[in-house]
Structure 1
Amino acid sequence: PPGSAARAALARADLDRLVRADTLVAGPQTAALLAANLSNPVLVDQAVAPGTVLADIGVAQKLLGRAGRISRLIVLPDQPLRQRPLAEIAPNLLLQRADGATDVGRLTDSFHLNLTAFGLLSFAVGIFIVHGAIGLAFEQRRGMVRTLRALGVPLRRLIVMMVLELVVLATIAGALGIVLGYLIAALLLPDVAATIRGLYSADVAGTLQIRPAWWLSGMAMALGGALLASASALWRLARMPVLASAGGRAWALATGRTRKLQAAAA
């Protein structure tokens, strides 16, 4: 077919020698295997894909032991008018149309699925890391919480202030993550576009398009993940008595009550 690697390789080969001398055309690795196992002359061409051998149809049938049998044909769409229609010559053939756009579409869908899966995995790992950090922070603040509550600070106001602190930290971290992610994507996208263009002849834009939905979803994941990771610690804080907030035993008992729910969820 026009534009294929096989056409480029055969254009540089001696067709007379290819037909008369039972010559084979293959890539370097495949040519080495052929030369070690067959007596046929072998031409080496870098354009031929690994594991592929080009030969006259009669030579191929002889080497494969498939005399008179053909697996598939590639037929050019424009044929001379004097030829009979292919459907009359071989009515049992199956016509398979080339659709490069579908292949690129499937490749893109697979790539997006991989990115989504890795993103979900990163989000889940990040939740556990933030959960541990928040738990350690609350553990270190038990004395302060006990003192504030003993002085008369309402529990609701104390929890609201801690949540606001988490929101500020999560907003800063989320903004930094989005900016760094954009910079990394901008650096990698040209190479990815060049690879897809070289392998599949598909034009992919080499620049990023900034969409507000991406920024908003990133900030929502950062804020939602931080609040989700801190929910357990805030719940334990709200359920404990005033003077028991700084006690290790009370904190352990409150933690033990939530472990059964965590085990059930896991």
Structure 2
Amino acid sequence: MKFFVTSRGDDTSNALQKKIVTYLQEFGLEHNEEEPDIVITVGGDGTLLHAFHHYHNRLNETAFVGIHTGHLGFYADWKPEEVEKLVIHIAKTPFQVVEYPLLEVIVRHLDRPNPERYLALNECTVKTTEGSLVCQMDIKGDMFETFRGDGLCISTPSGSTAYNKALGGAILHPSLASMQVSEMASINNRVYRTVGSPLVLPQHHTCLLTPMNDVALQITIDHVSEVNRRIKSIQCRVAEEQIRFARFRPFPFWKRVKESFIGE
């Protein structure tokens, strides 16, 4: 089996990275950055997000597992003291694959013929660099509302515990092939009105955002941002691709939610 280990870059993570590479090579596994069957990330959820985007073209062939060297993560759920146990699992045990939904984001430009397609593991956010965001929101091809406010967050179920939760969105189980649209400080008065609640859309629905004022949009896909004034539309839907996590032990999602936000 081919593997690759990536690190957050701090001393603790780098030391664990070297240890894991050495252990797995001693078991006869091949360290291969180009075509890994499994990617082990050492750091936190951000480290795994970076690895996901690096290998977004190999999602059908590559599975991910994360070790956290800081706080417990939703993606990085192994502890540093469990590294030897994890290495033995990887070398000796066929892993179970758990698949989570992803978000497809298609950005169309006014001055470019070809759209750009992105995949998000957590969310896509749309804001402006000046004033309020004003955009028409179409759901499944029908006009739903005109949004006015600071911005919108479109999240995956696994990403619902991140920015979406901070906006008052619901926590969704990753087995639900869906996406959630949450508002950022919408303007609601006698003139302007939005639904005012997060929307959970199923797999076969699309959400199309069309800017209605001449402002520069800041579009963020997980940790990657683009600022552009010439945006025609932003289309979001549940992607056909899924991320594959390598599971060597049960770790129920709701247990993870409890440990992250409530504690023991």
| Length-normalised TM-score, structure 2 | 0.22
TM-score, scaled relative to structure 1:
0.22
Question: Which structure is higher in helix share?
Answer: 1
Structure (1 or 2) with the greater strand fraction: 2
